[in-house]
Structure formats: structure tokens, C-alpha cells
Amino acid sequence: RFTARNDAGGEAHKLGGNFFQPTILADVPDNAKVAKEETFGPLAPLFRFSDEADVIRQANDTEFGLAAYFYARDLSRVFRVGEALEYGIVGINTGIISNEVAPFGGIKASGLGREGSKYGIEDYLEIKYMCIGL
């Protein structure tokens, strides 16, 4: 069991069923279930970190790796953090990461291979090398 502060949302959505309002959880401990599993919902858990290395360690401390997002102004930080994150897709300064020409897919337990783009077809192809001496 863990404690986190519900800063916004968390109520049942008027659509009913399993829908809930967009929710912000603050001060989430790094051992919380929401820190270790893919949520696929309107949930934003906020974690405290001490520095760049700490936030990268926390972000990578999961068996999943579909998508990660972060905001930064410093271009060297963008490349450093983007390279260090163990995710198949990294959104930087945007939340919209999917389009028809971008490869979509995760790493670790989030999937193998890609779909979409020219890379999506590669899983269905067999490559053959032929060397002919004349």
C-alpha cells in the first residue's frame, strides 16, 4: 500500500463503465503499482527526483517500455535523456507521438518489433543475400 495525493480528478466519468476523469497523483512513491505498470488511461502520476540521473533511473525501473515523455529546453539534455530512456517511443516537448510514418512499438515487456512506417513490414520479410561469382 502506498500514499499519494490526488491533486485532480479520480472520480467516475459521466460515460460510466470503467471510465474515470483525468487524474493527477502527486508525491507517488517509486514502488507504487502505477510506477511499475502501463496504465493506458488518463492518469498522470508525479514523482519526486533529485537530479537527471535519478529521474532516468526511476523511469527505466520497470519491465515495460512502450512510451516515455519529457519536456526540456536544453538540446544537449534532450539528446542525453532521450538516449538514456529505455522506451520504444520518446515524446519530447509533445504528447502527440503517433503518426503514419513513425515506427510504433515498445521494448522490454511492451513488445517486440514495430508496426507502421517502413519498419513495420520488416518483421514479415525474409532477407536473402546472394553473392554470384562471375
pLDDT of 54-65, one tens digit each? 999 999 999 999
What number of helices (H) and strands (E) belong to the chain?
Answer: 3, 7
CB atoms within 10 A of CB 18: 8
DSSP state of 20: B
Is the pTM above the cut of 0.85? no
Whether pLDDT at 1 is above 60? no
What does the pLDDT look like over 72-125, one tens digit per residue? 999 999 999 999 999 999 999 998 998 888 889 899 989 888 888 888 888 788
pLDDT of residue 39: 84
Residue 68, strand partner residues: 90
pLDDT of residue 81: 97
DSSP state of 89: E
Q: How far apart are CA 95 and CA 114, in angstroms?
A: 20
